[in-house]
Amino acid sequence: MSYLFTSESVSEGHPDKVADQISDALIDNFLAFDPESKVACETLVTTGQVVLAGEVKSTAYLDVQKIARDVINRIGYTKGEYMFDGNSCGVFSAIHEQSPDINQGVDRSSKEEQGAGDQGMMFGYATNETENYMPLALDISHEILKELAALRRENKDITYLRPDAKAQVTIEYDDNNTPVRIDAIVVSTQHDDFDSEENMLKKIKEDIINILIPRVKAKFSADIQALFTDDITYHINPTGIFVIGGPHGDTGLTGRKIIVDTYGGKGAHGGGAFSGKDPSKVDRSAAYATRHIAKNAVAAGLADEMLVQVAYAIGVAEPMGLFVDTYGTSKVDLSDGEIAKKLLEIFDMRPYFIEERFNLRAPIYSETAAYGHMGRKTETVTKTFKSPEGTEKTVEVKLFPWEELNYVDKVKSAFGV
């Protein structure tokens, strides 16, 4: 029997994502000037106010207020009428030294024996229903908001958009777990004030359906485009007016959109947030590593769908073990437990080796803080950072290295596929 599955995403202007982007901008700046920095930074944003808190061990000195303001302005909160803008909001910092009790569990005389920064379990997931091995409902939700932000910045075809927005997509699957139809799309976007609520709702709905959705559809392959039919149910700004938004409309916190950050509710989530954490925190680094395993394994043909779990004890390098669930889609004559054991022989899951495999001590995190940490394009870019003293640091970095399909041949060879 067919079934429906729904995922949501939020824009870069959503208050929780504003907080994530500030926290990850701080991570990047600390790592740019001191790659060995240990950072756990939380951000709260509300009407006219930013609060930074957390623990840091670093030789770098940063102007955290300027970094926060630059992020807010880049997102698009630049007008006083938003009741939150980068030039005038207050920025309060309560960042302090990291606890030596935590640090002693991470640092070792031998880097290879670096302990996990915390206990916990992390999950990675992949499915072959899309080209980037992500769940389709989430993939479309992300693209809706990326294109909405592009339209806002172009300020040509749609001129009333403000930064805060959310999207939600419902997909119908058949008995073979194959997407067959987009059932519904929900888009709620912040906007300028209109003279008439009736004209406002009519105009926004027309623009979303006739301007935004065709741009989103064009981003996908022909088989996915075929799912965009005339039978889609649209809910566009279903509550009506959405003028008050962003941190003025809803307080934002780092780490409150972890399902948006990962797989949109598919697979599983260990509960740990990513943004604001340096890679010694396995909440972040091991989640990337398990995604890398799942994606390469599915791409190698081991299964149509795979969930990978790893778990750690704080201060211990070796993981508690690896768990694999192929949801009955395995293509090899092995149990999921046997697959997990063999994958652990291919992928070294000790924290130090995860950091080395993906060069996670490079400043690569600002780009992860909106539109998902998984399913993104791996690319090499040049980034420049400036210290309060005026020192500039220019680095070439690879973004989203955990998305590379660079272990497919190793997996195929190990499993004989």
pLDDT (tens digit, 9 = 90+) per residue, 321-368?
999 999 999 999 999 999 999 999 999 999 999 999 999 999 999 999
Rounded to the nearest 10 degrees, what angle do helices 282-299 and 408-415 cross at?
A: 60
Q: How does pLDDT run across 137-159, given as a tens digit for each residue?
A: 999 999 999 999 999 999 999 99
Q: Is 375 within the bounds of a domain?
A: yes
Q: Is 277 one of the annotated binding-site residues?
A: yes
| Residue 184: pLDDT band with limits 50, 70, 90 | very high
Residue 329 lies in a domain: yes
**Number of domain units in the chain:** 3
pLDDT band at residue 114 under the 50/70/90 scheme = confident
Q: What is the pLDDT of residue 23?
A: 98
Plot region of 51 (φ>0 → left; ψ -120 to 50 → alpha; else → beta)? beta
**pLDDT score of 105 more than 80:** no
- Give the Cα separation of 26 and 21 in Å (integer): 9
Do 197 and 153 reside in the same domain of the chain?
yes
* pLDDT over 90 percentage in the chain: 92
**Is 166 annotated for ligand binding?**
yes
Would you say residue 365 lies in a domain? yes
- Residue 255 pLDDT exceeds 90: yes
- Choose one of 183, 217, 245: the last residue of a domain: 245
Residues 230, 260 within the same domain: no
Query: Any binding-site annotation on 55?
Result: yes
Q: Would you state the pLDDT for residue 98?
A: 72
Q: Are residues 174 and 29 in the same domain?
A: no
Give me the amino acid identity at 358: F
> So what's the pLDDT on residue 160?
96
Chain CA centroid to CA 29, Å: 19
Strand 161-173 with 120-127, pairing: unpaired
Whether 270 and 386 map to the same domain: the answer is: yes
On whether both 316 and 343 belong to a single domain, the answer is: yes
Say if residue 312 is in the same domain as residue 360. yes
Q: Is 16 annotated as a binding residue?
A: yes
Same domain, yes or no: 259 and 404 = yes
What phi, psi does 28 have (nearest 5°)? -60, -45
Within-domain flag for 203: yes
Q: Would you say 9 and 144 are in contact if contact means Cβ atoms under 8 Å apart? A: yes
Tell me if 14 is assigned to a ligand binding site.
yes
pLDDT in the model for residue 143: 98
Q: What is the mean pLDDT of the chain?
A: 95
Residue 115 in any domain: the answer is no
Instruction: Verify that 221 and 314 share a domain, yes or no.
Output: no
Annotation-wise, does 281 bind a ligand?
yes
257 is in an annotated binding site: yes
* Co-location of 178 and 296 in the same domain: no
pLDDT given at position 1 = 83
| Average pLDDT of the segment spanning 129-136 | 97
The CATH number that applies at residue 62 is 3.30.300.10
**Residue 104 in this model has a pLDDT that exceeds 80:** no
Query: 118 falls in which pLDDT band (50, 70, 90)?
Result: confident
Same structural domain for residues 188 and 321? no
For residue 335, the model assigns a pLDDT of 98
Query: The domain containing residue 85 runs over which residues?
Result: 15-102
User: Quick one: pLDDT at residue 56?
Assistant: 96
Q: Are residues 293 and 408 in the same domain?
A: yes
Residue 110 covered by a domain: no
Domain boundary among 245, 272, 296: 245
Residue 382, CA distances (Å) to 28, 80, 83, 363, 376 in order: 13, 33, 34, 10, 18
Domain co-membership, 25 together with 56? yes
> Does residue 108 sit within a domain?
no
* Nearest-angstrom CA–CA distance, 77 and 55: 27
Residue 164 annotated in ligand binding: yes
Asked, for residue 113, whether it belongs to a domain, the answer is: no
Q: Does 409 carry a binding-site annotation? A: no
Is 98 marked as binding a ligand? yes
Domain boundary residue, one of 185, 219, 245: 245
